[in-house]
Amino acid sequence: MKISKITVYQVTLPLEHPYRLSGGRLYFDKLDSTIIAMDTDEGIRGWGEGCPWGSTYLPAFPRGVRAGIEELAPQLIGLDPRRIDFIYRTMDTALPGHPYIKSALDMACWDILGKSTGLPLCELFGGRLDQEITIQNSVPTGTPEEMIESIKRGQAKGETIHTCKIGADVALDIERIQAIGAYLPANETATFDVNRAWLVDEGMRVMNSVKEPILYFEQPCETYEECLQLRQLTYHPIILDECIQAYGHVVRAQADRACEAIGLKIGRVGGLTKARRIRDFCVETGIRMNIEVTGGSVIGDAGSVHLAQSTPLTHLRATWLCHEMLTVDTAKGGPRNKGGKTSAPEAPGLGVEPIMDVLGEAIAVYQ
């Protein structure tokens, strides 16, 4: 089997509600996604998606995905997509670094491998576990009242883990945390995601001012070193997110006892191939995970949920369905919210069927 053609689509994904991060670093009402179709000489087509969360969240931007695919796609024509590790080494040789660019191509190769074997991806990632996966609710920053309204929207869908964006104002952050902590019932959990906005002293002041046992704090500071310093000065569980960009980063975090959990974002670490390796390390060393996309539609969500479906619940905290925040749907099938829980599709590969009218005209074809 050989890759015969790679087709690229640019798809604008409007958000149902505009989204804000702290400190004015991000405000937008749509995502810019790149979706690819990878065709083979045996008639099997694989799909992949790459969608950064805007351009200010990480060192990644939407047009960069398409520019990188322009570099990489010609190098993959004629190769066997089922040779996953060889494909990845080829991409790393052709374009060192830039892992977010490679995620969509890597996902399409896995989709082809699944379809060629007749197996859903979760079976290839270690085997489907008989479990439902908890969906976390993403809550943009705002006043305490605005954030609680967003939490209520998630609760109406059955969601019980709420990731709330805070940062940049110590007094307001304490007010937000106390209000949300007082509102939530004991069987629900809040993660306060700072997205790197605090200095160490700000993190100390906030985290040591609140006592609710249901609270987690995610990526409180800009650098790993700052987060590690804060870990040693506070007692709430810490989730590292943005600074986990490669396998070596989580190895270091485990050795330093820097966190209790990580955010394993498929696109950020370079795709399902790299994410699976990190997942396996976390299971072996006792680190809990949120397994999710950086952004995108149900196509990308399908990849992350397949990995989550093969991860023991003892180590899996939650996933996130970005497509729930959108006003358009790019594909039939895929993982869907069923009362705050989801599960991986049973169809071969990703288990999605893209809607071509939504994808529109291709912007590039490589063959």
Distances (CA, A) of 232 to 130, 167, 256, 265, 286: 37, 20, 10, 25, 19
Q: Are 211 and 178 in contact (CB under 8 A)?
A: no
Residue 272 has pLDDT above 80, yes or no: yes
- Write out the catalytic residue numbers: 165, 265
The average confidence (pLDDT) of the chain is 96
- DSSP assignment letter at 341: E
Going along the chain from its start, the domains and CATH numbers come out as 3-118+355-366 (3.30.390.10), 123-353 (3.20.20.120)
pLDDT, tens digit, for every residue of 144-159? Answer: 999 999 999 999 999 9
pLDDT at position 22: 66
pLDDT digits over 283-334, tens only? 999 999 999 999 999 999 999 999 999 999 999 999 999 999 999 999 999 9
Q: What end-to-end distance do the CA atoms of the chain give, in Å?
A: 15
Q: Rounded to whole angstroms, how far apart are CA atoms 158 and 52? A: 27
Taking the CA atoms of residue 79, residue 82, residue 86 and residue 90 in that order, the dihedral angle to the nearest 10 degrees is 50
Name the pLDDT band for 168 (thresholds 50, 70, 90).
confident
Q: Tokens for 69?
A: 């695919």
Contact by Cβ (8 Å): 33, 296: yes
Distance CA 89, CA 84 (A): 9
Q: What is the DSSP letter of 212?
A: -
CA-derived radius of gyration, the chain: 20
Nearest to 100 by CA among 75, 68, 127: 68
